[in-house]
Amino acid sequence: MPRIQLNCDMGESFGAWQMGDDVHAMPLIDQANLACGFHAGDPLTMQRSVALAVQHGVSIGAHPAYPDLAGFGRRHLACSAAEVEALVLYQLGALEAFCRAAGTRVDYVKPHGALYHDLQRSDELLAAVLRACACVRPDLPLMLQALPDNRREQRLAAVAGVPLLFEAFADRAYLADGRLAPREQAGALHQDAERILAQACAIAHAAAFAAIDGQPLRLQADSLCVHGDNPHALAVLRRLRALLDSL
């Protein structure tokens, strides 16, 4: 089994508002999903985040979102496919500029929040994001949620000629169908470190773990995500890094 990667949403501070402990979290991860200014992040934060990732040899992913700073990108906006393609391309271009200035490049794209979930419901929007990726670089992968059946995503990505990465979540509860439990649902966010580690270990081994209703769920993932805005993120990342390195 290929070694599973560890990714984290980062660079989500904005002006005087500080989010997460990126300085201490960055050395613990393999992939950093960096905000591109639409849901969080500002030019200086983006520049500093890229430099921090380069310093620690961490792969850089663009984390584009709907233009929703007030809602942290978690509100669904009625954007057309053309608008989504343009706003993703805009954000990719901004982060790619900072990467080039630092002597590196964007390695993959992972949509954020409501946009991420809308791609699961709309072939048209997913095709738009795939086109944006292909415009930047033909081999630029798109990171999507690992589901029990990802044939839909693989079919659309094959048409666009875009490689896919699939991620699962250590700190989120799942519905029985393999989708994430809505954040407003009780128990949707795991707060217990032992539960997060147990779920991460199961995913890393492609073993079954419990969905929010207790039903067994099994996922195949290339990468494992811990959210940077989780209050226990740093402590969990330290233990998770040690756990994954021991597998």
**How confident is the model over 218-224, as a mean pLDDT?**
96
**How confident is the model over 26-42, as a mean pLDDT?**
97
Distance CA 59, CA 34 (A): 10
- Size of the chain, expressed as the number of residues it contains: 247
- Burial of 198 per CB tally in 10 Å (0-12, 13-18, 19+): middle
- Burial of 22 per CB tally in 10 Å (0-12, 13-18, 19+): buried
Q: For the segment 106-117, what is each residue's pLDDT rounded down to a tens digit?
A: 999 999 999 999
pLDDT of residue 192: 86
Residue 72: both structure tokens together: 């942290």
pLDDT of residue 229: 67
Bridge partners of residue 143, in order along the sequence:
165
Distance CA 154, CA 145 (A): 12
Residue 234: both structure tokens together: 């740093």
Residue 128: both structure tokens together: 């738009």
Distance CA 113, CA 67 (A): 11
Q: For the segment 40-73, what is each residue's pLDDT rounded down to a tens digit?
A: 999 999 999 999 999 999 999 999 999 999 999 9
Q: For the segment 128-179, what is each residue's pLDDT rounded down to a tens digit?
A: 999 999 999 989 999 999 999 999 999 999 999 999 999 999 999 999 999 9
Instruction: Evaluate if residue 227 carries a pLDDT over 90.
Output: no
Pick the CATH number of 5-171+221-227 from 3.40.50.150, 3.20.20.370, 3.10.450.100, 3.20.20.150: 3.20.20.370
Residue 235, CB-side half-sphere exposure with 13 Å CA sphere: 8
Q: Binning pLDDT at 50, 70 and 90, where does residue 118 land?
A: very high
Q: Binning pLDDT at 50, 70 and 90, where does residue 234 land?
A: confident
Distance CA 208, CA 216 (A): 6
Token pair 């990719």: residue: 92
Mean pLDDT (the chain, rounded): 94
Token pair 């492609």: residue: 206
Distance CA 8, CA 224 (A): 8
**Signed CA dihedral, 166, 87, 160, 50: sign only:** negative
pLDDT of residue 2: 65
